[in-house]
Amino acid sequence: MTDPRAQLHGLWLPLITPFSDGALDEPSLRKLVRHYAAQPIDGFVLGATSGEGLALSWDERLRLVSAVRTELEAVGRPLPICLGLAGAATSDLIDALERTASWPIDLYLISSPPYVRPSQRGLLAHFLALADRAAHPIVLYNIPYRSAVGLDNETLLQLAEHPAIVGLKDCCANRMQTRDLITRRPPGFRILTGEDAQSFDALQAGADGAILLSAHVETETFASILQHVKAGRHDAAAACWAQVEDLTRLLFTEPSPAPAKYWLARTGVIASAQVRLPMVEVSTELAARLDQEIERRVQREVQPRVA
């Protein structure tokens, strides 16, 4: 069996979930998977923030996972799949772990409980309870600006000792906390940056990889950044980052994943830019900016690029 820690590196795509007429758009989903399976990515995250996981029914989540796994097998690229889970009650998440235990996934991505604001002792007990029951390894998701409370590094270091907790998607938005954790983490505990606009700094500091919504666009450039950093080619990495740095901000100008979905629909990768309430599609103003940037990048394709 493959060590899950060995899978947690490189560029992971937190796949958007395409909708049509309010329903899961399976033809677009299958096209999306085939499109990105041909790109230099190292894994998919499904049903998390970018995938509007909280707006999906359990039936839709299973269909999502099954369709992605089927398409990956069809193209002969068995990329690992990480399923996003979230909830405010530990008991509900234990139920979710039991429900998904037999699904064709490799890992879970689990964020801190939103709204309830537990203490660090509460967070520790919560994640240990989940780790004791999980059929698949867990990647922690530290994103305090969504969950209202963040995991401190001392708590993360304790959790990293559990054999079922194999890594972290780091969205703490605190440069010093990220660097401190990278320095102090135990051997084998993987850290993937998930803060798009700050990802280059985290990778330079020693993060093992990245989970980036922005990599739906310019996928090869983002992959090149990781490859150059790993090889110590810092000037080449910086040149690639200069090509996409503004993109990482543009795609978060309005709540994600609406801007990315608009981009993918406009470029024909998916059929519709639909999102589910309370998310709404991009404003007319942002649509115009996205159109302009899409056109600029199409024109740039005929020019030499930094590899």
78 found inside a domain: yes
Q: 259 in a domain, yes or no?
A: no
Measuring CA to CA, which residue among 137, 145, 196 is closest to residue 168?
Answer: 137
Query: Please, are residues 250 and 292 in contact by the beta-carbon 8 Å criterion?
Result: no
Can you give the pLDDT at residue 301? 74
Assess if residue 63 is contained within a domain: yes
pLDDT of 104 above 80: yes
Q: Is the residue at 124 inside a domain?
A: yes
Predicted confidence band of residue 305 (pLDDT cuts 50, 70, 90): low
Is residue 89 in a domain?
A: yes
Task: Summarize pLDDT for 145-161 with one digit per residue, the tens.
Answer: 999 899 999 999 999 99
Catalytic residues: 141, 169
Q: Is residue 272 situated within a structural domain?
A: no
User: Is 306 within the bounds of a domain?
Assistant: no
Residue 94 annotated in ligand binding: no
How many structural domains is the chain composed of? 1
Mean per-residue pLDDT of the chain: 96
**Residue-number span of the structural domain to which 129 is assigned:** 4-242
CA separation, residue 86 to residues 59, 75, 142, 147, 205 (Å)? 16, 30, 12, 10, 28
Task: Please tell me the predicted confidence (pLDDT) of residue 227.
Answer: 97
pTM of the predicted model as reported, rounded to 2 decimal places: 0.95
The per-residue pLDDT for range 224-234, each reduced to its tens digit, is 999 999 999 99
- Whole-angstrom Cα distance, residue 120 to residue 144? 12
50 appears as a binding residue in the annotation: yes
User: Is residue 303 domain-resident?
Assistant: no
H or E stretch including 5?
Answer: helix 4-7
Note the pLDDT tens digit of each residue in 196-242: 999 999 999 999 999 999 999 999 999 999 999 999 999 999 999 99
Q: At 147, which CATH number?
A: 3.20.20.70
Tokens 């990956």 label which residue?
Answer: 72
My answer on whether omega of the bond before 257 falls inside 30° of 0, hence cis, is: yes
Going by C-beta distance under 8 Å and a sequence separation of 6 or more, which residues neighbour residue 74?
Answer: none
Cα separation, 189 vs 161, in Å, equals 9
